[in-house]
Amino acid sequence: MNATAHGTAEQVPEQTIPLDLQTMRQTSLRALEKGSDDLSREDLDSLTQALRGMLMLAIPEVTAAADRHPKGDMPRICALVGVEEASRHLRARPVPAASPWALRQAQRLARSVMALTDHYVNLGGPDSANLGGQA
C-alpha cells in the first residue's frame, strides 16, 4: 500500500519553474518598440498569446514573493497592485488580431509583464539574481 492509504502522506514541496525574466522582457519589448505596428496579424496574435502566458506564470510567482514580505512593506504593496492590474488585463476580452485595438491590448499586456518582472526583482525573487544589472 502507498503512504496515502495509511494516512501518512508526505508533504511534497511545490515545484515551480523559475521565471525567465530576460525572455519575458525581450518579448515585452517586441510589443513596445518602434515599428511594432508593422507586425503581421499572425505575429501579433502569437505575441499576445505569449504575453498572456507570461502573465499567467508571473502573477502567482510575484504574489508568492510579495507574501514573503511583511504587510505594509512598500515593495510588497506595489507588487500586489501590479498583480491586480495584470489580472485585470488577463480578464479583459481578447481582441482579434485584425482589430485596430489589438496592438494596444498587446502593449498593455507587455507593460504588465515588464512591471511584474521589475516587482519580482525588487522582492528578491529566486531567479532575480540572473538578471544582473538589467532590473
CA 120 to chain centre: 9
Residue 19 has pLDDT above 50, yes or no: yes
Which cell is 70 given? 511583511
Share of the chain above pLDDT 70, in %: 80
Hey, CA dihedral for 79, 83, 89, 90, is it positive or negative? positive
DSSP one-letter code for 31: H
The residue ranking higher by pLDDT, 16 or 35, is 35
pTM as predicted = 0.81
